[in-house]
Structure 1
Amino acid sequence: MSDFGRKGLGDQLKEKAQPDSTKSTLDQTKESASGLYDRAAGAVQPDQNKSATQQLGDSTRSTKDDASNQGQGILASAQETIGNAAQAVSDTLQGKK
């Protein structure tokens, strides 16, 4: 059961289980918009006002979001390293130091 105005865990799991390639653009857009709303609602609603299942869903999503952000940091770092290496090779080939 979800809190008023919030996505239930069942709905969230169902959305994640179905591949985006099988969803219409409209369905993907609705899921994205409702997901953003749900994240915002979860962030402003105090934990003591959430049901146990809503707390579980929010804490699980928070952990996943943190891991995703760390992954993006690693990706950005790797891209920077590759870009610097490419520039060094280009400079070497052009005789620059």
Structure 2
Amino acid sequence: MSAVKRLQRELHQLWSALRATPWVTAAPLDADTAAGLLEWHCDVLLGDAPQARRLHVVLRFPDAYPAQPPRVHLHTPFPHPNVLPDGTVCLSVLEAG
């Protein structure tokens, strides 16, 4: 199955699941194009209003997805041992191989 077909299927599953989680939003850059499906933007709200903090995350899926993992980049500064200074998220599950 191609990465685009897999991501289309996962997009529909995700949208169903996100109805129950209003503190998370996620969508491809453009659900109508193959290139747009390979880049997703997600927002996660941490904490309660009015002090809630929004984390913006970008996932870039390779053409070989799911055999190769996406690259995950945090665009909101967030100090964490698994987040590099440039926002790259480092987890063993995100390593190819």
Which structure's residues are more often helix, by fraction? 1
TM-score > 0.5, shorter chain as reference: no
Pick the structure with more strand per residue.
Answer: 2
Which one has the largest radius of gyration? 1
Larger RCO, structure (CA 8 Å, separation 6 or more): 1
